[in-house]
Structure 1
């Protein structure tokens, strides 16, 4: 692991961060580590969401295609079980 250092942090900001860490039952270092990790994870999540928003990944099926496949699978299941379709 590497060490990170933040310079020129105002004392009142450091005190507020330390108070938050204490409320959470963490050291200041552990709290700041969690903040950095959370920020990286959020950025990763945003990148995934942006890929889906751009529709570069995912399905090209329409809602009707999906509902039709579900209906067909349900009918096959009912036939396999020997149940009439009205028993849905």
Structure 2
């Protein structure tokens, strides 16, 4: 495994993430790793959909209603997680 260091994180964001980690019973490291894993899965899924589209798989791209709905739901979840709702 590799180490990742993120600099210049606003204190308010750090506190929000720490509070969420604590509420979940996780360390900050474990919680952030979960967020990275989720982002990685989304990135891989989008890449797969694009590959399918290039092969004529029927994916209509970012304008697709289903894709837009999923993106909106995930954005809302992320806002709740970060305490921005």
TM-score range, shorter chain: 0.5 to 0.7
Runs (4+) off by over 4 Å? none
Length-normalised TM-score, structure 1:
0.58
Q: How many equivalent pairs are there?
A: 57
Counterpart residue number, 1:41 = 41
Length-normalised TM-score, structure 2:
0.60
1:52 Cα shift? 1.8
Q: Return 5+ residue gaps in structure 2 as ranges.
A: 58-85
| Greater C-alpha radius of gyration | 1
- RMSD of aligned alpha carbons: 1.5
Counterpart residue number, 2:6 = 6
Per mean C-alpha deviation after superposition, the further-off stretch among 45-54 and 8-17 is 45-54
2:31 matched to 1:31?
yes
Between the aligned partners of 2:40 and 2:56, the Cα distance in structure 1 is: 22
